[in-house]
Amino acid sequence: MTRCWTCSLACIALVLAVAGLHGQTTGSRGRALTIVPDSAIATRDWGTIVDRMVRGNELRVRLERRDTLITGRSVEQLTQYYKGLRVWGGNVSRQFDAAVLVSVFGTVYQGIDLDVAPPTSRDAARATLEALGGTLLLPDSEPELVVLPSDDGAFTVAWIGEVMLRRDIVRVFLDATSGQIVRRYSMQQRQAANAAIGRGTGVLGDDKKVSATAVAGTFLASDPLRPPVIVTYDMKGDVNRSLNVLNNLTPLVTADTASSSSNNWTDAAVVDAHAYAAYTYDYYFKRFGRRGLDNADRRLNNMVHLVKRNDIFTAPADVLDFYLNAFYCGACAGGVMVYGEGLPGGVYFSSTGQRYDYFSGALDIVAHELTHGVTDYSSRLEYVNESGALNEAFSDIMGTSVEFFVQPPGSGPMQADYLIGEDIVVGVTAGAPNGIRSMANPALFGQPDHYSKRALLPPDDDHDNGGVHVNSGIPNHAFYLAIEGGTNRTSGIRVQGVGAANREQIEKIFYRAFTQLMPSNADFSMARAITLRAAQDLYGLNSASYNAVRDAWTAVGVN
C-alpha cells in the first residue's frame, strides 16, 4: 500500500504508443498506471498525459460538473476507451480552478493489444445473462462490450451485464470469445402533489411529521415539499410482487404507494423510511449543496414490507434479505431503497443476542443506502475489493454524518454516535452489542482497524466481493479518528482530531474526495491521497483538518 506514483512524459508516450495495435480478444498483457501525483510537477505532467489521451479519444469525459463547495472549481470524470470500447476500471478524475488543473487521480491501462471484434454476438450474450437470471433483460439493460483488465495484466474483451437474481443483483462479465463467465460480483449495495403534512409514529415510537400528498380523499406517502419526488411504497408483504418489481417485470404503481386515510400514519416502517430518506436528502443539500442522488433531483423510491414478518420461519432462504437487510438497487424499478422487515417480536439471534427491528427505523442505515445511490452517480466505486470497501465506508461515513446532522449526540435511541444500525439492531442478551459496525472500534464487530489486519478474500459474491463489508472498517476508523482523535489500537499512533465541533470540515473533505475526485477503481492508498487533496483544496495544506486526515490514515496503516 505504499504506492506513490509519479510519471514522466515517457510514461505517456508509452501509453500512447501501445494504443491502436491490433491483436487478439484475450491474452493481451499490459499494466495499470495508477495516477496519484505527489507534487505539483507530477500533477502537471499527468495533466499533460491526460490531455493527450483526451485528444486521442482514449479518455472521454463521462461527467463534468461545477464544484458546489469551492467557487470557480469544476471536476471532470473521464473513462478510458480502447478502439471504442470502455476499458473497465480505466478512470481518471481531474479538478480545475477555472482552466487551471488542480489535481488528477485515477488509473489508466497501458499495453492493451486486442482485436475488439467479438466472436459472440450481443444476442448470445443477452441469452446467457437471461438464462442466468431467469428473466428477460429490459431494453436499457443491453449487454455492453468492454475491455476487461485482470490482475495479472491480461486484457479480455467481454460482454458485461447486470442480472437480478431472486436474492441478489449481480454484475457479470462474459468472455466475448468463449461466452464463459470470467467475473461476477454482487451489485446489491446493502447494509449487511398536494402537500399535506401528516403526523406519524416511527419505529422507536417517536412522533414525526410526514410530508404527504392529498389525493382524492386519501393521503399518499409522496413528498411534494422537497425538490425530488420521494415516494415510499408499501409492498404489503407480497413477496412475489416485490420480486417482480425488483426484476423490472412489473412497474410500481400508485396503488403500491403507502397511504393513510386520515394522514395519521401508524405504519412505523413507512413513516421512518419516508422521513429518513427525506432527512438524508436535506443533509446532502444543506451540507454540500448536492441535489439528491444524481445531483439533479432524481426521484427517490423507498420500498418496505416486501415480506410479512411472521413468514420468516417458512420463507425461502433467497428472500432473507427482505427480512434482515437493506440495500440500494440502482437497476431495480428506476432505483429503489429496500428496507428489511426485521424479526418478529421476541425473536432474536442466539449467536449474537441481537433482535432486528424494521431496517428503515435507523437513520444511519437509510442514509447509508441512499449514499450508495450517490456513489453510483459520482465515483461509481467498483463494488469489489478495496474500492468496494471504500464504497461501503463512504456509505457508513455519510450515514453517521446524517445522524449527527439530525440527531443530538449521545448513546441512546435516536442519538448520534459512531455505531451503525444501533437503533434497530439491539442486543437483548447480556453483553450483546447494539448495531452491526462501529467506526470508533471496528474490532467490536470483527472488522479490522488497521491495514495490516485487512481481510484478503477472493473477490466474488461468496466472499463479500473481497470483504467489502469487512475492510470498510479501516477507512471508517480513519474518518472517526480525523474527527474525534484518539489512538489506533493496532498501531498505537495517536491522532489529534479536529473535534466534534468541526466535524463539518472532515465531512466535507470526505464528501469532496468521494464524490468529485475519486475514480471508480480507487484503493485505500489512493483514497488517502485524494482525501488529502480535498483537505488541501478546502482548508489548505497543513491545516488542522488536513493534518487530522493525514494522521488518521497513517494511524490505520494506509500510506
Partner 1 sequence: MRARCCVVTAIVLLALGRAGQASAQATADRDRFRISVNGGVQISSIAFDTSATRVVYLENAIIDTSYKISRGPAVDGGVSVRIAGNVGVGVTVSAFTAKNDANVSGAIPHPFFFKTPRTVTGTATGLRRDELVTHLLGIYAFRPTANVDVAVSAGPSFFRVRQAVVDDVAFSDTYPYNAPAFTSAASQRVSGHKTGFNAGADIGLRLSRHAGVGGSVRFSKAVVSLVMPNSTTTTSVDAGGVQLAGGLRLYF
Residues 514, 375: contact at Cβ < 8 Å?
Answer: yes
Which of 6, 201 has the CB closer to partner 1?
A: 201
With CB under 8 A as the contact rule, the residue among 211, 476, 488, 547 that binds partner 1 is 211
Site size for partner 1, by CB under 8 A?
Answer: 17
Q: Among the candidate windows 49-57, 193-201, 478-486, 508-516, which touches partner 1 by CB under 8 A? A: 193-201
Q: Output the furthest CA–CA distance in the chain (Å, rounded).
A: 71
Q: Tell me the C-alpha distance between 160 and 178, whole Å.
A: 14
Q: Which stretch, 196-204, 302-310, 338-346, 410-418, contacts partner 1 (CB under 8 A)? A: 196-204
Q: 473: Cβ–Cβ under 8 A, 6 or more apart, which residues?
A: 437, 439, 442, 443, 445, 447, 448, 449
SS3 229: coil
The span from the CA of 396 to the CA of 416, in Å, is 13
**Residue of 76, 162, 369, 507 marked active site:** 369
Contacting range for partner 1; rule: CB under 8 A; set: 124-132, 192-200, 312-320, 447-455: 192-200
* Nearest distance from C-beta of residue 265 to partner 1, angstroms: 12
Question: Please, what is the end-to-end C-alpha distance for the chain in angstroms?
Answer: 6
Which of 123, 151, 152, 207 lies at the binding interface for partner 1 (CB under 8 A)?
207
Alpha-carbon distance of 520 to 528, in angstroms, equals 15
Residue of 469, 477, 484, 507 with catalytic role: 469
Under the binding rule (CB under 8 A), the answer on residue 226 touching partner 1 is yes
Centre a 10 Å sphere on the Cβ of residue 184 and count the other Cβ atoms it contains: 17
Q: Which stretch binds partner 1 (CB under 8 A): 7-15, 112-120, 202-210, 348-356?
A: 202-210
Closer of 47 and 228 to partner 1 (Cβ): 228
To partner 1, the closest distance from the beta carbon of 225 in angstroms equals 6
How many CB atoms sit inside 10 A of residue 121's CB? Answer: 13
Q: Give 294 or 460: the residue with its C-beta nearer to partner 1.
A: 294
Residue placing its CB nearer to partner 1 in the complex, 208 or 305: 208
Which residue in 209, 236, 308, 453 binds partner 1 (CB under 8 A)?
Answer: 209
Clarify whether 58 is annotated catalytic: no
Q: How far is the CB of 211 from partner 1 (least distance, A)?
A: 7
Asked if 227 is part of the footprint of partner 1 (rule: CB under 8 A), the reply reads: yes
Least Å distance, CB 504 to partner 1, is: 16
Which one, of 547, 529, 543, lies nearest residue 103 by Cα? 529
Nearest distance from residue 278's CB to partner 1, in Å?
7
By CB under 8 A, name the one of 286, 334, 412, 542 that touches partner 1.
286
Under the criterion CB under 8 A, does residue 193 sit at the interface with partner 1?
no
CB nearer partner 1, residue 290 or residue 380? 290
Name which of 31 and 286 has its Cβ closer to partner 1. Answer: 286
What CA–CA distance (Å, rounded) separates 291 from 232? 19
Mark residues 256-275: x for contact with partner 1 by CB under 8 A, - for none: -------------------x
Quick check: 225 binds partner 1 (CB under 8 A)? yes
Task: Return the number of the residue (209 or 453) whose C-beta is nearest partner 1.
Answer: 209
| CB 195, min distance to partner 1, A | 8
Nearest to 95 by CA among 523, 533, 394: 533
By CB under 8 A, name the one of 199, 298, 453, 463 that touches partner 1.
199
Nearest Cα neighbor of 334 from 421, 231, 264 is 231
CB of 27 within 8 A of CB of 154? Answer: yes
Q: How far is CA 342 from CA 197, 237, 243, 310, 503, in A?
A: 28, 12, 18, 10, 32
278 in contact with partner 1 (CB under 8 A): yes
Q: Are 88 and 160 in contact (CB under 8 A)?
A: yes
Task: Assess whether 369 carries a catalytic annotation.
Answer: yes
Q: Which stretch binds partner 1 (CB under 8 A): 191-199, 336-344, 386-394, 508-516?
A: 191-199
Residue (of 82, 92, 94) closest to 149 by Cα position: 82
- Residue pair 340/362 in contact (Cβ under 8 Å)? The answer is no
Stretch that binds partner 1, among 204-212, 411-419, 449-457, 462-470 (CB under 8 A): 204-212
Q: Name the CA dihedral angle for 478, 482, 485, 491, rounded to a multiple of 10 degrees.
A: 30
- Judge whether 190 and 327 are in contact, CB under 8 Å: yes
CB of 267 to partner 1, least distance (A): 18
**Interface with partner 1 includes 60 (CB under 8 A)?**
no
Q: Which three cell numbers stand for residue 429?
A: 442478551
Closest CB to partner 1 among residues 184, 209: 209
- Which element (helix H / strand E) includes 160? strand 154-164
Please identify, using beta-carbon distances, which residue of 199 and 241 lies nearer to partner 1.
199
Cβ nearer to partner 1, comparing 108 with 230: 230
How far, in Å, CA of 260 to CA of 278, rounded?
Answer: 18
Nearest-approach distance from CB 366 to partner 1, in angstroms: 15
Report the 3 state secondary structure along 377-427.
Answer: CCCCCCCCHHHHHHHHHHHHHHHHHHHHHHCCECCCCCCECCEECCCCEEE
Q: How far is the CB of 339 from partner 1 (least distance, A)?
A: 20
361-399 CB burial, b ≥16 within 10 A, e <16? bbbbbbbbbbbbbbbbbbbbbbbbbbbbbbbbbbbbbbb
CB of 285 to partner 1, least distance (A): 6
Q: Does 197 bind partner 1 (CB under 8 A)?
A: yes
When binding is defined by CB under 8 A, the residue of 282, 311, 460, 504 that contacts partner 1 is 282
> Which residues make up the interface to partner 1 (CB under 8 A)?
195, 197-199, 207-209, 211, 225-227, 275, 278-279, 282, 285-286
**Residues with catalytic function:** 369, 469
